[in-house]
Each structure stands twice: as C-alpha cells, then as structure tokens.
Amino acid sequence: MTLIKTIWPLIFILPLFSGIIGGLNSKQSLKLSNFGIGAGLLFSIILVWLLDEPLILEWKWLEGVSFGFSIDRLNAMLVLLVYLITLLVQVFSITYMEHDPDQGRYTAKLGFFAFSMVGLLMSNQLVTLFLFWELVGMSSYLLIGFWYQEAARSKAARQAFMINRVADAFLLLGVIQVFNNGYATSFTEILSSGNQWDGFTGLCFIIGAFGKSAQFPFYGWLTKAMAGPTPVSALIHAATMVTAGVYLLVRISPVLIEWNLQVIAIGGAVTAFMAAVAALTQFDIKKVLAYSTISQLGYMILGIGVGAYQASVFHLWTHAFFKAGLFLAAGSVIHYMHELDSSKDAQDMRNMGGLQKILPVTFYAFLICGLALSGLPFLSGFLSKEGILTGSWLWGQSTGNYLVPVLAFCTAGLTAFYIGRQILLVFFGSSSFTQKIIEPMLTIRVPLIFLAVSSLWFWNSLNPINPLGWFWNSYLFADLGATSAQHSILGVLIGSIGLSLAGLGVAYWLYRPEAELTQNFKNSKEPAQLVGKISFHGWYIEKFYDQIVLLFSKIVAGAGWFDKKVIDRFVDGMGVTGVVMAKVIGWFDQNIVDGLVNFMASISQLIGRFVTSFQSPKIQIQIGWLLLTLLVLLLWFQFLT
Amino acid sequence: MMEAISPTYFVFLSLFIFCAGIAIIIIKRSAIFVLIGIELMLNAANLNLVYFSQYDPGMNGLMTSVFVVVLAAAEVAIALAILLNIFKHYKITDPDELTSLKN
C-alpha cells in the first residue's frame, strides 16, 4: 500500500513532465519524453499488480466540495491502457512526425493529453472529474488543430470543440444537480449509498457522456477530429478519450433509473447502426475508421444500457487495441502515400490499392485488427462484441423491446462489410506503385505488430468463443459483487459469426480485385442515390448542426431586432420622458422652490432694511432713539405691569 | 414763613428744562449747544434735588446738587477745552463730522 501511495503521484504527473520535456524539441528531450511515458507504464503495471483495496485520496477544496481521486482496479486498468497506447503512439510518431519541425509541440500536447486522461480516470469526486473532463476536451482540441496553419483543420478543431461544449454543458448541469439534490458527490460514495438519481440528473450525465463518446446526435465531431495527425486519432479518438463517456456511464450506471438506462441502450444502438451505415461509402481512409469508432462506441454504450457493462468494459479494452492498431496502420499507409506522391490526397482510398506488396507489416496488422473489428472468432473483438450482443439479446427478451438487439445485429453485419471493403480497396488489387519501400522503420513496425498480436484471443480469454472468460473479469468486478447472470447463447453465437462472415463475403463479392465496382472505384464520385447520399454525408449530421446554428443565429437576429425595435425604443422613450420630467422638475425647482427661498430672503432683506433705517451714524438720532426706547420702557412699566 | 409753592410747578419747570435740554441735544448740530443741553438737563435734575430737599432735614439733596454743580463745571471746562482743540485742529464743531481722532 505504501508503494502504491508513492507511485501514484508519479503515474499522475509523469505524462505532464514528459510532455514538458518533449516540448523542448530536441532529439534528446524527445527520447527522454518517451522514456518518461515508459516509466509511467512500468509504474502503472506495478499499480495494477499490487492494487488490492481501492485507494481514496481527498483534499477539502471548498466548504462541501472536495478535490478527490481514487484508484480502484477499474481505473488502474484503464490507466495502464492509456499509458500503453500513449507509449505506442509516441514511438510511432517518432517516424510519422519526423519531417515536422513542431515535433516538440506535438509531444508536449500528447503529454498534456495523457495527463488529463489519467486525471480523468483517477477522479473520484464529480467536480474533479468535470475538471479533467474539460482538460481532456481541451487537449483534444489542441491536437486536432495541431496543423493550425491550415484553415480547414483549425476550423474542424473548433467545430469538434464546440460540439463537445454543448454536451459538457449538460454534464456541468448534471454535477450541479447532484449538488443541489444532495446526492453523494464521489463515485465511491455513489456506489456505497445506493441512492437512485432522479431521471433529469441521470439524463444530463448521459448527454455529457454521449458528447464525449461521440454518440447520436453528437457523433459529428469525431469525423471532424480526423483533421489531427493520425497517431493522435489512434490515441485520442479511438482508444482513450472517446471511451471517457463509456467509463463515466459504467461508473454511474448503478444509480440510474430504468428509463435512463433505456435511453442509453437505444441511443447506443441507434448510433452504432447509423455510424455503421455511414462508414459504408466513405472514400477517406480515416473517415471509415472514425465512423467505425463511433459505431463501436455505440456498442459499448448499448452494453451499459442493457446491463452488460462488464462486456462494455471488455469491449472498451479490446477495441482500444484493435482500433489503435487500425489507425496506426492507416497512419502508416498515409505516411507512405505522402512520401510516395505528395500531389495526391494521401488519405483518399481512391488513390490506393495494392499496397499489400509494399507495406506487408502494415497490411497484416490492418488485416488482423480489421478482422478483430469485424468479429471473427479467435480474435479479441469477437469475444467482447459477443458479450454485448448476448446482453442485448437477453435484455430484448426480458423487456420485449427487440429494437436494440436487432440494430446491434445489423451493425455486426455492416461492420464486417465496411472493414472488408476497406481492406480490399486499400491493400488488394492492382498497384500503380513500383517502389519497394517496405516500412523500414522499426518505430512503425513495433507498435503495429504489438497491437496486432494484442488483438488475438489468447490475451483475453483462453476459450476463443467464451465472452465470459475474460481474464480481467474477476480482477475488475469481484469487488463490485455484481456478476451478471449472463451465459452464452448458441443462437447469438452462431448469428454473430454468421453475420460477420456474411458481411465479409458480400464485401469480397462486391470489391474483389477483379470486380466491376473495384475497377471503377478509382474514378467513382459521390453516390447519387438517396441511401448512398445519406451514408456518405453521415446522415447529414453536419447539416443538422448547421441548421441548429442557423436557427440560433436567427433567434439571435430576432432577439437583436426585438432589442433594436422594442427595447431600444422603450429605452429611448424612457430617456425622453426622463428629460421632459427633468425639465419640468428643473422649472419647478427654479421657480417654485427657489422662488420660495428667494421670497423668504427678500422678506428678511426688507426687514433688514427697515431695521437698518432706524440706525444712523448721527449721534443725535441715536440718542433720540435711545430716549424714545427709554420712554417706551418707562411707560410700559408704569402702566402695563 | 413763605407760602409754600406747590411742588407741581417745580416738577413741571424741571420737566420743561429737561425736555429743552434733550431737544437741544437732539436738534442742534454744534457741539457747544450739545454741551449747553447737557448743562440744562443736569440743572433740571438739580432743581428737583433742591426743591425736594426741603422735606429732608439731613439736606442730602442739597449736598448732592452742590456736587452736581461742581461736576458740571469740571465737565464743561474739560469738554470746552477738548472742543476748542478739535476746532483748532479740524475746523469743525459738529460731532457727527468728527470721524477720527488721529489725523
């Protein structure tokens, strides 16, 4: 326990330090930065190894508000995951970013991101969580807009950030609700108190989580986020940050009421299906993966909604590996395409094809990770997805709501199809490239091979078709005490495998190298028919955002008009009235009030003059008066007293 | 024994003289006349004192009147001397025109 107390601050702070050191932008500092992340990874392994009881650290911040962290097995495992992927991405980036003069800034931002993410995962108090939630959003914005010199990329970064803000506002509202309603404010207390939240608070948290995890209707930001460097997409927008929403929902799911969970389940299922459809027709290699990420996140969210949150955490874990692998492989492809011919769009799949021969390691990594995504047995993706599908099926049986499982199964087939299409279009077919540059870089090969091997089944469960055999299950959820009554269902198993194979088969039939579609693909344009259009434009979600923005700008314009025509008029009228009133009062003051005062003054002046007139410099007149007064006094005393 | 004259005459006489003195003081401009008026007033008072002292065996009234005469003489001597000097200096006799004692 003392060792843990010693190393957890290191785990917490190391990414920040290595980021700062990397920011110095020299060869040595970049190496040192990687070393820092490596040390952090080592520490987090020790943490996972030694952690037994949850460790809670809290400082009082304000009256009634604490600044608190806790380390239990779930977030220790996720911290390990963040470190692992960060390290691989940093190693990969050494080559990927070698021509960029701003590599130091890149490393600094990565370090900042890793720090924020670790902080988010370790947060126990909701306020602390919100703080790091925002920092994560901020660092994501910084990394998306890394090439800020290009206007389109910085615009995309802004858009992604703004969409996140909308959802974050709801999260903040939720946190405020928790404080207002007097619920427990830390995850540990939330679990132990067992009080249910009211629906509105739960909904606010759900919207916040949907925003970060790119669920409907917020998923538009994740495709925007692809403007960042590809390794960043692998780290942030596939493996770690987008799972923050899933993590949050896993944490709070015990206190959510029934309809909140239904919102989660349906939202996740709808998103999974929509994003899978949108991934079918994309030309951009990264956009396919982005939509695929949204779709897989939809699975995880769905899993929480149907009560299979263990499967969701399992899927989060496996997805992080194979999706990071896919993105890094895509990054390798893009890097290679760029080196080869910088005049063409290096991300457009229409310019690719036949890369299998030139990039064998990338190809095999992409193939294994892609098949893991599609959900074939003997790969990690199958196991975790199987858990979620089973959960959704059981949920459908118990509630009678079959929308969620049906969408989930459709998505499984679509997933296999679009990833099959992508593999075929990028790596198979005729190649126009004759060079034999075959990824000479160790820094690119090692992360790819590592991630591909990690996507095999035996790292997770010895039985390749048993989703409940995850090694981490007993480690993670033993203290939660809630082992769900799940069991494998043969039908679901067969259906899942069948759909994956069917999807891959259709993809092969349509996009095999000699097929008509593949031949025409290089010159194909945006799809013309309605379904294709909807898919290509991602269900027109951006149009939807534009409409909202338009609506708001209209509201603002209307408010402006109202302000100008009504409020300003009113204010002007008030002003005129004030001036008139002031004039009236001024006249009154000058003539009536001052008049009275002047009148009094002139009366006293008159009296004064009258009295003065008795007086005289002449001695004799004074004496006369004196005598007169004397006489009067005498007469007074004589006759009147 | 002389027939006693009714005190009313004396009182009226002295009143007349007193009022004359006052009138002179008030009306006349010359400081000499003012002095004369003062003398008249003093003597009007003396007249009263002298008359009524016949009822006083101690004759305190008479004695007082003698003092008053002496006082008046002294006063007139000093006042005339001052007035003479003022006249020599300023060539005026009207006390109202005398506005400063220093030149």
**pLDDT for position A485:** 47
Q: Are residues A586 and A453 in the same domain?
A: no
Query: Residue A276's closest CA among A250, A313, A302?
Result: A302
Minimum distance, in Å, between the CA of residue A610 and any CA atom of chain B: 22
Query: Residue A574 domain-assigned?
Result: yes
Q: Which residues on chain A are in Cβ contact (under 8 Å) with B22?
A: 627
**pLDDT for position A486:** 55
Q: Are residues A525 and A583 in the same domain?
A: no
Minimum distance, in Å, between the CA of residue B96 and any CA atom of chain A: 6
Q: What is the pLDDT of residues A416-452, one digit of tens each?
A: 999 999 998 888 877 766 666 666 667 888 888 988 9
Q: Are residues A410 and A452 in the same domain?
A: yes
Q: List the single residue in B22, B27, B95 with the smallest CB-CB distance to A619.
A: B95
CB-based contact B26 A623, cutoff 8 Å: yes
Q: In chain A, pLDDT over 90 holds for what percent of residues?
A: 32
**Could you say which residues from 341 to 370 on chain A have a Cβ atom under 8 Å away from some Cβ of chain B?**
none
Query: Residue A40 domain-assigned?
Result: no
Which of the four CATH numbers 3.40.50.1820, 2.50.20.20, 1.10.287.3510, 3.40.50.300 does domain B7-92 have? 1.10.287.3510
Does B5 lie at the interface with A, CB-CB under 8 angstroms? no
End position of a domain, from candidates A536, A567, A588: A536
Q: Are residues A399 and A487 in the same domain?
A: yes
Does B92 lie at the interface with A, CB-CB under 8 angstroms? no
Instruction: Please state, in angstroms and as integers, the Cα–Cα distance from residue A105 to each residue in A22, A102, A109, A168, A231, following that order.
Output: 8, 5, 6, 26, 15
Q: Are residues A518 and A553 in the same domain?
A: no
CB-based contact B26 A620, cutoff 8 Å: yes
Determine the structural domain holding residue A568 and report its residue range.
Answer: 545-628
Query: Nearest residue of A to residue B30 by CA position?
Result: A620
Q: Are residues A381 and A451 in the same domain?
A: yes
Does B95 lie at the interface with A, CB-CB under 8 angstroms? yes
- Scanning A123-242, the segments in alpha helix (DSSP H) are 126-144, 151-181, 187-193, 199-212, 220-224, 230-234
Q: How far apart are CA B64 and CA A521, in angstroms?
A: 154
Q: What is the pLDDT of residues A259-270, one digit of tens each?
A: 899 999 999 999
End position of a domain, from candidates A518, A536, A554: A536
Q: Are residues A389 and A441 in the same domain?
A: yes
Query: Nearest residue of B to residue A624 by CA position?
Result: B26
Query: Nearest residue of A to residue B28 by CA position?
Result: A620
Q: Is the pTM of this model over 0.80?
A: no
- The first and second tokens of residue A262, run together, are 């239904």
Q: Are residues A519 and A605 in the same domain?
A: no
Query: Residue A142 domain-assigned?
Result: no
How many other CB atoms sit within 10 Å of the CB of residue A248? 25
Q: How far apart are CA A223 and CA A42, in angstroms?
A: 33
- The first and second tokens of residue A37, run together, are 């992340």
Q: What is the tally of structural domains in chain A?
A: 2
Q: Are residues A370 and A442 in the same domain?
A: yes
Query: Residue A1 domain-assigned?
Result: no
Provide the residue-wise pLDDT of chain B in tens; the chain has 103 residues: 456 778 888 899 999 999 999 889 888 888 888 889 999 999 999 988 888 888 888 888 888 999 999 999 999 999 999 888 888 888 877 777 777 766 5
Q: Are residues A468 and A611 in the same domain?
A: no
Q: What is the pLDDT of residues A208-235, one digit of tens each?
A: 999 999 888 888 888 888 888 888 888 8
Q: List the single residue in A619, A624, A627 with the smallest CB-CB distance to B96.
A: A619
Angle at which helix A360-374 crosses helix A309-340, to 10 degrees, equals 150
Q: How far apart are CA A246 and CA A305, in angstroms?
A: 11
Query: Residue A400 domain-assigned?
Result: yes
Q: Are residues A421 and A522 in the same domain?
A: yes
CB-based contact A620 B22, cutoff 8 Å: no
Q: What is the pLDDT of residues A124-179, one digit of tens each?
A: 999 999 999 999 999 999 999 998 898 989 999 999 999 999 999 999 999 999 99
Does B25 lie at the interface with A, CB-CB under 8 angstroms? yes
Q: Which DSSP symbol is given to A413?
A: H
Q: Are residues A594 and A466 in the same domain?
A: no
- The first and second tokens of residue A474, run together, are 């007993």
Q: Is the CB of residue A421 less than 8 Å from the CB of residue A510?
A: yes
Q: Is the CB of residue A353 less than 8 Å from the CB of residue A425?
A: yes
Q: Which residues on chain A are in Cβ contact (under 8 Å) with B96?
A: 617-620
